[in-house]
Protein backbone atom coordinates (compact mmCIF):
# COMPACT_ATOMS: atom_id res chain seq x y z
CA UNK A 1 0.00 0.00 0.00
CA UNK A 2 1.46 3.34 -1.11
CA UNK A 3 0.35 6.34 0.96
CA UNK A 4 0.93 10.03 0.34
CA UNK A 5 1.24 12.00 3.59
CA UNK A 6 0.65 15.75 3.82
CA UNK A 7 1.49 17.94 6.83
CA UNK A 8 0.41 21.60 6.90
CA UNK A 9 -0.67 22.18 10.51
CA UNK A 10 1.70 25.05 11.25
CA UNK A 11 4.76 26.54 9.54
CA UNK A 12 6.16 23.55 7.68
CA UNK A 13 4.86 22.01 4.47
CA UNK A 14 5.73 18.31 4.69
CA UNK A 15 5.03 15.74 1.98
CA UNK A 16 6.09 12.08 2.10
CA UNK A 17 5.47 8.69 0.54
CA UNK A 18 5.28 5.55 2.70
CA UNK A 19 4.97 2.06 1.30
CA UNK A 20 4.08 -1.03 3.36
CA UNK A 21 7.03 -3.17 2.28
CA UNK A 22 9.63 -0.58 1.35
CA UNK A 23 8.98 2.01 4.07
CA UNK A 24 9.70 5.67 3.45
CA UNK A 25 10.24 6.42 -0.26
CA UNK A 26 10.33 10.23 -0.10
CA UNK A 27 10.20 12.81 2.67
CA UNK A 28 10.25 16.49 1.68
CA UNK A 29 9.99 19.51 3.89
CA UNK A 30 9.65 23.17 3.15
CA UNK A 31 10.19 25.31 6.24
CA UNK A 32 8.64 28.78 6.47
CA UNK A 33 11.00 29.83 9.26
CA UNK A 34 12.55 32.63 7.19
CA UNK A 35 9.13 34.16 6.51
CA UNK A 36 8.02 34.16 10.13
CA UNK A 37 11.38 35.01 11.73
CA UNK A 38 10.99 38.81 11.42
CA UNK A 39 7.75 38.55 13.44
CA UNK A 40 9.26 36.35 16.18
CA UNK A 41 6.56 33.70 15.70
CA UNK A 42 4.19 32.14 13.21
CA UNK A 43 1.82 34.50 11.35
CA UNK A 44 -1.16 32.23 10.50
CA UNK A 45 -2.22 33.98 7.28
CA UNK A 46 1.32 33.92 5.88
CA UNK A 47 1.54 30.24 6.78
CA UNK A 48 -1.67 29.32 4.90
CA UNK A 49 -0.63 31.23 1.78
CA UNK A 50 2.79 29.63 1.70
CA UNK A 51 1.32 26.12 2.06
CA UNK A 52 -0.84 26.89 -1.00
CA UNK A 53 2.26 27.87 -2.96
CA UNK A 54 4.38 24.90 -1.97
CA UNK A 55 2.06 21.92 -1.73
CA UNK A 56 1.69 21.04 -5.43
CA UNK A 57 5.40 21.24 -6.33
CA UNK A 58 6.30 19.24 -3.23
CA UNK A 59 3.83 16.47 -4.09
CA UNK A 60 5.23 16.35 -7.63
CA UNK A 61 8.80 16.11 -6.34
CA UNK A 62 7.91 13.46 -3.77
CA UNK A 63 6.31 11.28 -6.45
CA UNK A 64 9.34 11.72 -8.71
CA UNK A 65 11.75 10.86 -5.87
CA UNK A 66 9.71 7.81 -4.95
CA UNK A 67 9.55 6.67 -8.58
CA UNK A 68 5.75 6.70 -8.40
CA UNK A 69 2.91 8.20 -10.42
CA UNK A 70 -0.35 9.57 -9.00
CA UNK A 71 -2.06 6.43 -10.25
CA UNK A 72 0.16 4.27 -8.01
CA UNK A 73 -1.20 5.85 -4.82
CA UNK A 74 -3.48 3.70 -2.67
CA UNK A 75 -4.39 6.37 -0.14
CA UNK A 76 -3.85 9.97 0.95
CA UNK A 77 -3.24 11.00 4.57
CA UNK A 78 -3.37 14.61 5.71
CA UNK A 79 -3.09 16.32 9.08
CA UNK A 80 -6.60 17.44 10.08
CA UNK A 81 -5.70 18.87 13.51
CA UNK A 82 -4.80 20.13 15.97
CA UNK A 83 -3.15 23.20 14.46
CA UNK A 84 -3.84 26.48 12.68
CA UNK A 85 -7.26 26.31 11.05
CA UNK A 86 -6.29 27.98 7.77
CA UNK A 87 -3.03 26.06 7.44
CA UNK A 88 -4.78 22.75 8.16
CA UNK A 89 -7.44 23.53 5.54
CA UNK A 90 -4.83 23.78 2.79
CA UNK A 91 -3.51 20.24 3.34
CA UNK A 92 -6.95 18.80 4.07
CA UNK A 93 -8.60 20.34 1.00
CA UNK A 94 -5.71 19.30 -1.22
CA UNK A 95 -5.47 15.77 0.21
CA UNK A 96 -9.19 15.01 0.34
CA UNK A 97 -9.74 16.33 -3.19
CA UNK A 98 -6.76 14.45 -4.62
CA UNK A 99 -8.02 11.21 -3.08
CA UNK A 100 -11.51 11.83 -4.50
CA UNK A 101 -10.11 12.53 -7.97
CA UNK A 102 -8.08 9.31 -7.88
CA UNK A 103 -10.97 7.34 -6.33
CA UNK A 104 -8.81 6.16 -3.43
CA UNK A 105 -9.42 6.48 0.34
CA UNK A 106 -8.32 9.49 2.35
CA UNK A 107 -7.57 9.57 6.06
CA UNK A 108 -7.53 12.53 8.45
CA UNK A 109 -4.49 12.25 10.72
CA UNK A 110 -4.18 13.63 14.27
CA UNK A 111 -0.95 15.63 14.39
CA UNK A 112 0.02 14.42 17.87
CA UNK A 113 -0.69 10.78 17.01
CA UNK A 114 1.61 11.25 14.03
CA UNK A 115 4.34 12.62 16.34
CA UNK A 116 3.77 9.76 18.76
CA UNK A 117 4.13 7.11 16.04
CA UNK A 118 7.15 8.75 14.34
CA UNK A 119 9.76 6.74 16.33
CA UNK A 120 8.20 3.57 14.85
CA UNK A 121 9.46 4.64 11.41
CA UNK A 122 12.93 3.75 12.67
CA UNK A 123 12.37 1.10 15.32
CA UNK A 124 9.94 -1.45 16.66
CA UNK A 125 6.96 -0.61 18.85
CA UNK A 126 7.93 -0.79 22.56
CA UNK A 127 6.00 -3.34 24.60
CA UNK A 128 2.44 -2.13 25.24
CA UNK A 129 1.32 -0.32 27.25
CA UNK A 130 3.95 2.42 27.44
CA UNK A 131 4.11 6.07 28.44
CA UNK A 132 4.52 8.79 25.81
CA UNK A 133 5.74 12.31 26.48
CA UNK A 134 4.47 14.54 23.66
CA UNK A 135 6.32 17.84 23.63
CA UNK A 136 5.82 20.34 20.82
CA UNK A 137 5.16 24.03 20.26
CA UNK A 138 1.49 23.57 21.15
CA UNK A 139 1.37 20.56 23.49
CA UNK A 140 2.98 19.08 26.59
CA UNK A 141 1.25 15.80 27.35
CA UNK A 142 1.87 12.57 29.21
CA UNK A 143 -0.15 9.79 27.64
CA UNK A 144 -0.59 6.11 28.43
CA UNK A 145 -0.53 4.23 25.14
CA UNK A 146 -2.30 0.86 25.05
CA UNK A 147 -2.23 0.60 21.23
CA UNK A 148 -2.50 2.75 18.11
CA UNK A 149 -5.47 5.00 18.87
CA UNK A 150 -5.84 3.86 22.50
CA UNK A 151 -4.69 6.85 24.50
CA UNK A 152 -5.29 7.86 28.09
CA UNK A 153 -4.29 11.41 29.03
CA UNK A 154 -2.33 11.31 32.29
CA UNK A 155 -1.25 14.93 32.44
CA UNK A 156 -0.81 18.04 30.33
CA UNK A 157 0.20 21.66 30.50
CA UNK A 158 -2.26 23.98 32.18
CA UNK A 159 -0.83 26.97 30.30
CA UNK A 160 2.10 27.28 27.86
CA UNK A 161 3.46 24.23 26.07
CA UNK A 162 7.13 23.55 26.78
CA UNK A 163 8.11 24.31 23.16
CA UNK A 164 6.25 27.61 23.40
CA UNK A 165 8.20 28.38 26.61
CA UNK A 166 11.47 27.68 24.74
CA UNK A 167 10.33 29.99 21.93
CA UNK A 168 9.33 32.78 24.33
CA UNK A 169 12.50 32.51 26.40
CA UNK A 170 14.56 32.72 23.21
CA UNK A 171 12.66 35.82 22.14
CA UNK A 172 13.28 37.48 25.53
CA UNK A 173 16.99 36.69 25.20
CA UNK A 174 17.09 38.20 21.72
CA UNK A 175 17.77 34.81 20.13
CA UNK A 176 16.06 33.82 16.88
CA UNK A 177 12.93 31.85 16.11
CA UNK A 178 12.20 28.95 16.54
CA UNK A 179 13.63 29.20 20.01
CA UNK A 180 14.24 25.57 21.01
CA UNK A 181 17.35 24.94 18.93
CA UNK A 182 18.62 28.50 19.63
CA UNK A 183 18.30 28.09 23.41
CA UNK A 184 20.01 24.70 23.20
CA UNK A 185 22.94 26.10 21.17
CA UNK A 186 23.32 29.14 23.45
CA UNK A 187 23.00 27.02 26.63
CA UNK A 188 25.91 24.85 25.51
CA UNK A 189 28.28 27.70 26.56
CA UNK A 190 26.40 28.45 29.78
CA UNK A 191 27.45 27.89 33.38
CA UNK A 192 24.99 25.39 34.93
CA UNK A 193 25.77 26.63 38.44
CA UNK A 194 25.17 30.37 38.10
CA UNK A 195 21.36 30.42 38.20
CA UNK A 196 18.78 27.95 39.45
CA UNK A 197 15.36 28.34 37.83
CA UNK A 198 12.18 26.76 39.32
CA UNK A 199 10.90 23.31 38.31
CA UNK A 200 7.18 24.21 38.18
CA UNK A 201 4.62 21.92 39.82
CA UNK A 202 7.16 19.28 40.79
CA UNK A 203 6.73 19.95 44.51
CA UNK A 204 3.16 18.65 44.52
CA UNK A 205 1.64 15.37 43.33
CA UNK A 206 0.18 14.99 39.85
CA UNK A 207 1.29 14.84 36.26
CA UNK A 208 0.17 18.22 34.93
CA UNK A 209 2.64 20.88 33.85
CA UNK A 210 2.79 24.67 33.97
CA UNK A 211 5.47 26.67 32.19
CA UNK A 212 4.21 30.24 32.51
CA UNK A 213 5.97 30.75 35.89
CA UNK A 214 9.28 29.61 34.40
CA UNK A 215 8.77 32.13 31.63
CA UNK A 216 8.16 34.94 34.14
CA UNK A 217 11.19 33.87 36.20
CA UNK A 218 13.30 34.03 33.02
CA UNK A 219 12.00 37.51 32.22
CA UNK A 220 12.73 38.75 35.76
CA UNK A 221 16.27 37.33 35.66
CA UNK A 222 16.88 39.04 32.33
CA UNK A 223 15.63 42.36 33.75
CA UNK A 224 17.76 42.00 36.89
CA UNK A 225 20.93 41.51 34.81
CA UNK A 226 20.29 43.95 31.95
CA UNK A 227 22.09 44.85 29.81
CA UNK A 228 22.99 41.23 29.07
CA UNK A 229 26.41 40.20 27.84
CA UNK A 230 27.06 37.03 25.82
CA UNK A 231 27.91 35.00 28.93
CA UNK A 232 24.80 36.22 30.79
CA UNK A 233 22.68 35.10 27.86
CA UNK A 234 24.32 31.67 27.79
CA UNK A 235 23.99 31.23 31.57
CA UNK A 236 20.29 32.17 31.51
CA UNK A 237 19.64 29.89 28.50
CA UNK A 238 21.40 27.08 30.37
CA UNK A 239 19.38 27.62 33.55
CA UNK A 240 16.14 27.72 31.53
CA UNK A 241 16.97 24.54 29.62
CA UNK A 242 18.03 22.72 32.80
CA UNK A 243 14.77 23.66 34.51
CA UNK A 244 12.57 22.71 31.55
CA UNK A 245 14.35 19.39 30.99
CA UNK A 246 14.42 18.55 34.70
CA UNK A 247 10.70 19.24 35.00
CA UNK A 248 9.92 16.91 32.08
CA UNK A 249 12.24 14.25 33.51
CA UNK A 250 10.64 14.38 36.98
CA UNK A 251 7.13 14.04 35.52
CA UNK A 252 8.13 11.19 33.19
CA UNK A 253 9.63 9.22 36.07
CA UNK A 254 6.53 9.92 38.14
CA UNK A 255 4.22 8.72 35.32
CA UNK A 256 6.23 5.52 34.81
CA UNK A 257 6.21 4.80 38.55
CA UNK A 258 2.50 5.58 38.95
CA UNK A 259 1.57 3.27 36.08
CA UNK A 260 4.23 0.68 36.96
CA UNK A 261 5.61 0.80 33.41
CA UNK A 262 9.19 0.80 32.07
CA UNK A 263 9.09 2.12 28.52
CA UNK A 264 8.86 5.77 27.51
CA UNK A 265 8.47 7.27 24.03
CA UNK A 266 9.28 10.95 23.61
CA UNK A 267 8.02 12.72 20.51
CA UNK A 268 7.37 16.18 19.06
CA UNK A 269 9.78 19.03 18.34
CA UNK A 270 11.17 19.35 21.87
CA UNK A 271 12.14 15.65 21.85
CA UNK A 272 14.95 16.73 19.48
CA UNK A 273 16.55 18.45 22.49
CA UNK A 274 19.88 16.75 23.13
CA UNK A 275 19.97 17.46 26.86
CA UNK A 276 16.47 16.00 27.32
CA UNK A 277 17.45 12.86 25.38
CA UNK A 278 20.70 12.48 27.32
CA UNK A 279 19.08 12.96 30.72
CA UNK A 280 16.29 10.47 29.96
CA UNK A 281 18.70 7.94 28.44
CA UNK A 282 20.95 8.21 31.52
CA UNK A 283 17.93 7.37 33.69
CA UNK A 284 16.07 4.86 31.56
CA UNK A 285 18.73 3.42 29.23
CA UNK A 286 17.24 1.40 26.36
CA UNK A 287 13.77 1.93 27.73
CA UNK A 288 13.51 5.45 26.29
CA UNK A 289 12.61 5.67 22.60
CA UNK A 290 12.84 8.65 20.29
CA UNK A 291 13.13 9.42 16.59
CA UNK A 292 16.07 10.99 14.79
CA UNK A 293 15.89 14.82 15.02
CA UNK A 294 14.36 15.32 11.54
CA UNK A 295 11.44 13.09 12.50
CA UNK A 296 10.90 14.81 15.88
CA UNK A 297 9.93 18.17 14.38
CA UNK A 298 7.00 18.50 11.98
CA UNK A 299 7.34 16.38 8.84
CA UNK A 300 5.27 14.57 6.23
CA UNK A 301 6.75 11.14 6.97
CA UNK A 302 4.99 10.81 10.31
CA UNK A 303 1.66 11.73 8.69
CA UNK A 304 2.14 9.20 5.87
CA UNK A 305 3.02 6.54 8.45
CA UNK A 306 0.15 7.29 10.87
CA UNK A 307 -2.25 7.45 7.92
CA UNK A 308 -0.91 4.15 6.60
CA UNK A 309 -1.65 2.47 9.94
CA UNK A 310 -5.24 3.67 9.87
CA UNK A 311 -5.82 2.93 6.18
CA UNK A 312 -4.38 -0.56 6.72
CA UNK A 313 -6.96 -0.98 9.50
CA UNK A 314 -9.69 -0.15 6.96
CA UNK A 315 -10.39 3.38 8.15
CA UNK A 316 -11.10 6.32 5.83
CA UNK A 317 -12.88 9.66 5.69
CA UNK A 318 -16.27 10.41 4.17
CA UNK A 319 -16.38 12.84 1.24
CA UNK A 320 -16.05 15.99 3.33
CA UNK A 321 -13.23 18.27 4.44
CA UNK A 322 -13.11 18.64 8.20
CA UNK A 323 -10.27 20.15 10.22
CA UNK A 324 -10.10 20.66 13.98
CA UNK A 325 -7.94 23.41 15.45
CA UNK A 326 -8.48 21.65 18.79
CA UNK A 327 -8.72 17.87 18.86
CA UNK A 328 -8.20 15.95 22.14
CA UNK A 329 -6.03 12.88 21.52
CA UNK A 330 -8.16 10.48 23.62
CA UNK A 331 -11.10 11.17 21.24
CA UNK A 332 -9.32 9.13 18.57
CA UNK A 333 -10.67 5.64 18.00
CA UNK A 334 -8.50 2.54 18.03
CA UNK A 335 -6.68 1.30 14.94
CA UNK A 336 -5.16 -2.11 14.34
CA UNK A 337 -1.72 -2.35 15.93
CA UNK A 338 1.37 -1.94 13.71
CA UNK A 339 1.68 -4.90 11.34
CA UNK A 340 5.40 -5.28 11.79
CA UNK A 341 6.00 -3.03 8.79
CA UNK A 342 7.77 -0.23 10.63
O1 LIG B 1 6.52 19.39 16.78
P2 LIG B 1 6.96 20.72 16.31
O3 LIG B 1 7.93 20.79 15.16
O4 LIG B 1 5.75 21.62 15.92
C5 LIG B 1 4.57 21.62 16.66
O6 LIG B 1 3.77 20.67 16.53
O7 LIG B 1 4.42 22.58 17.47
O8 LIG B 1 7.58 21.45 17.59
C9 LIG B 1 8.09 22.74 17.49
C10 LIG B 1 8.64 23.13 18.83
C11 LIG B 1 9.09 24.58 18.86
O12 LIG B 1 8.55 25.19 20.02
C13 LIG B 1 10.59 24.48 18.92
O14 LIG B 1 11.19 25.56 19.60
C15 LIG B 1 10.77 23.17 19.67
O16 LIG B 1 9.78 22.33 19.15
N17 LIG B 1 12.10 22.58 19.43
C18 LIG B 1 13.02 22.40 20.40
C19 LIG B 1 14.17 21.88 19.76
N20 LIG B 1 13.89 21.73 18.44
C21 LIG B 1 12.62 22.17 18.25
N22 LIG B 1 12.98 22.67 21.72
C23 LIG B 1 14.08 22.40 22.44
N24 LIG B 1 15.22 21.90 21.92
C25 LIG B 1 15.31 21.63 20.59
N26 LIG B 1 16.44 21.14 20.08
ZN1 LIG C 1 4.26 19.13 15.57
DSSP-based three-state secondary structure for 321: coil
pLDDT given at position 99: 98
Spatial neighbors of 21 by CB under 8 A, at least 6 apart, are 341
Report the distance separating Cα 117 and Cα 148, nearest Å: 8
pLDDT given at position 126: 95
Q: How many CB atoms lie within 10 A of CB 254?
A: 17
pLDDT given at position 109: 98
Of all protein residues, whose CA lies closest to atom 6 belonging to ligand 1? 136
| pLDDT tens by residue, 68-107 | 999 999 999 999 999 999 999 999 999 999 999 999 999 9
pLDDT at residue 339 greater than cutoff 60: no
pLDDT given at position 341: 42
Give the model's confidence band at 335: pLDDT under 50 very low, under 70 low, under 90 confident, else very high: confident
Enumerate domains of the chain plus CATH numbers.
Answer: 2-117+295-331 (3.30.420.40), 128-290 (3.30.420.40)
Report the distance separating Cα 322 and Cα 261, nearest Å: 36
| pLDDT tens by residue, 150-164 | 999 999 999 999 999
- Cross-sheet strand order for the sheet of 140-147: 150-156, 140-147, 130-135, 264-267, 288-289
Percent of the chain residues past pLDDT 70, beyond the cut: 98
Our answer on whether the CB atom of 181 is closer than 6 Å to any ligand 1 atom is yes
Query: Can the peptide bond before residue 114 be classed as cis, meaning omega within 30 degrees of 0?
Result: no
Helices and strands in the chain: count of H runs, count of E runs? 11, 10
DSSP-based three-state secondary structure for 25: strand
Per-residue pLDDT, averaged over 240-268, amounts to 98
| pLDDT tens by residue, 269-290 | 999 999 999 999 999 988 999 9
pLDDT given at position 268: 98
Our answer on whether the CB atom of 79 is closer than 6 Å to any ligand 1 atom is no
Report the distance separating Cα 7 and Cα 296, nearest Å: 13
Give the model's confidence band at 336: pLDDT under 50 very low, under 70 low, under 90 confident, else very high: low
Residues with CB under 5 A from ligand 2 (ion): 136, 298
Give the model's confidence band at 229: pLDDT under 50 very low, under 70 low, under 90 confident, else very high: very high
When the pLDDT of each residue in the chain is averaged and rounded to a whole number, the result is: 96
Q: How many CB atoms lie within 10 A of CB 278?
A: 11
pLDDT at residue 199 greater than cutoff 60: yes
Percent of the chain residues past pLDDT 90, beyond the cut: 93
- CA–centroid distance, 59 to ligand 1, in Å, is 24
Amino acid sequence: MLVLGIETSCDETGVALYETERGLLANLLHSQVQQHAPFGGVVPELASRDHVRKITPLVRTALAQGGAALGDLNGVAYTAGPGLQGALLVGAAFGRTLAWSLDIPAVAVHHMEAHLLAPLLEGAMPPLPFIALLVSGGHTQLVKVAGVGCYEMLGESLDDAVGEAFDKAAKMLGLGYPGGPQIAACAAHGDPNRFRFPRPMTDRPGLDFSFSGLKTFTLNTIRDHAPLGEQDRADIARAFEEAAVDTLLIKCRRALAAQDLDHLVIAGGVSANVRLRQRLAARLGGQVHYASPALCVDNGAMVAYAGHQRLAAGQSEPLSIVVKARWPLPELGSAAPANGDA
